[in-house]
Amino acid sequence: MDSRKLACMAAAGFIGVGLTAAVTADAKPREIVVEGKRFDPETQRRVSYADLNLAFRPQQKVLLRRISSTSHRLCGDLGFYKPSERWGCTRGAVRGTDDQVAAAIDRAKLKMAGKPVGPAIAIPIVIGSR
């Protein structure tokens, strides 16, 4: 091997070791913080679907009825007593679960197809306080 190539390789190695040492010398262990969403029983309710197979339309309708009735009761608990206010609150709460319901249905369909998925969970309904 040419002495010039050997010198370049040695220099590259030396620089690489130096950079690695510089980076690891200042590296401190990072703290990992996992934050979960806090469940507030005053403004939230959970609707379980663990007993349903959401791959089937009739079971999806059962979940939607559960969400709607739970939302309606929650809105009443939060002081929405006038029918127009209560139905508006209920509609907003139900719409707020649309993405979660779609994900749960997709999960159920994947499970039916034999794909590995996590366990069935509950869908949280959240309403901001008045």
Q: For residue 75, what pLDDT is reported?
A: 93
pTM of the shown model: 0.66
Higher-confidence residue of 72 and 4: namely 72
Q: For residue 1, what pLDDT is reported?
A: 53
At CA 40, angle to CA 39 and CA 46, rounded to 5?
60
For residue 60, how far is the Cα from the chain centroid?
20
Q: Dihedral sign, CA of 66, 71, 73, 74?
A: positive
Whole-number mean pLDDT of the chain?
A: 80
Q: For residue 120, what pLDDT is reported?
A: 74
Position 106 pLDDT exceeds 80: yes
For the packed helices 83-95 and 57-77, what is the interaxial angle rounded to 10 degrees? 130
What digits encode the pLDDT tens for the residues 21-76? 555 555 555 565 555 556 576 788 999 999 999 999 999 999 999 999 999 999 99
Q: For residue 39, what pLDDT is reported?
A: 59
Query: Binning pLDDT at 50, 70 and 90, where does residue 118 land?
Result: confident
Position 96 pLDDT exceeds 80: yes
